């Protein structure tokens, strides 16, 4: 009886370790090491207005603060019923960007395009290109990342219009 329980605990602990160990791999910009985590409620609700941005793009603190202010979501009302909001928040937090050991994540940034990594990944894109009709907005990931809807942003797939 106890052995079974111990085994269960051990496997749960192992699973947890694996989650943490594999997170940095998945967090790499071009790392399609494993399929990106998905959730049907997140896909449906967040994907209703824009690409359902992958949880790994922001730290947990940012997601929590965003989910707490959906009625004022970048100039629009994106309010959700409490159940859907709780499901989405749990998914986002669980798969959020993890900070390096000893570093505190900056949860004050809510706009993905304002994060350091986004800026450095896109520093070669001119202002004119961002505003071109084919792109229109930095929110339009799929303009250059054809598999953005599927959560894949691999370098080799990029096609700048």
Partner 1 sequence: MKRTANIGALAAMLLAGSLAQAADPLAAISTAARTDKAFSGFSAERGAALWERKGKDWSCSTCHTTDPRQAGRHTVTGKVIKPMAPASNPARFTDSAKVEKWFKRNCRDVFNRECTAQEKGDVITWLRSIKP
Contact (CB, 8 A) for 42 and 85: no
* 71 contacts partner 1 (rule: CB under 8 A): yes
* 136 contacts partner 1 (rule: CB under 8 A): yes
Q: Which single residue is written with the structure tokens 């709780």?
A: 86
- Name the residue nearer to partner 1 (CB basis): 83 or 156: 83
Residues 79-98 that bind partner 1 (CB under 8 A): 79-81
d(CA 46, CA 1): 44
Contact (CB, 8 A) for 29 and 153: yes
The region, left, alpha or beta by phi > 0 then psi within -120 to 50, assigned to residue 102 is left
Smallest distance, partner 1 to C-beta of residue 112, A: 12
Smallest distance, partner 1 to C-beta of residue 22, A: 31
> CA 90 from chain center: how many Å?
12
* 108 contacts partner 1 (rule: CB under 8 A): no
* 74 contacts partner 1 (rule: CB under 8 A): yes
Binding site for partner 1 (CB under 8 A): 49-51, 71, 74-81, 135-137, 139-140, 143
């Amino acid at each position: 009886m106890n052995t079974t329980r111990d085994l269960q605990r051990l496997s749960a602990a192992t699973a947890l370790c694996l989650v943490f160990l594999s997170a940095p791999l998945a967090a790499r910009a071009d790392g399609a090491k494993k399929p990106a985590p998905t959730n049907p409620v997140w896909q449906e609700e967040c994907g209703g207005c824009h690409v359902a941005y992958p949880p790994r793009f922001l730290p947990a603190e940012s997601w929590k603060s965003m989910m707490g202010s959906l009625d004022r979501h970048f100039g629009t009302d994106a309010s959700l019923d409490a159940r859907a909001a709780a499901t989405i928040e749990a998914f986002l937090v669980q798969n959020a960007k993890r900070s390096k050991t000893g570093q505190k994540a900056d949860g004050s940034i809510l706009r993905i395009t304002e994060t350091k990594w986004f800026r450095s990944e896109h520093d070669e894109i001119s202002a004119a290109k961002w505003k071109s009709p084919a792109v229109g907005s930095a929110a339009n990931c799929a303009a250059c990342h054809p598999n953005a809807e599927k959560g894949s942003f691999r370098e080799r797939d990029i096609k700048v219009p």
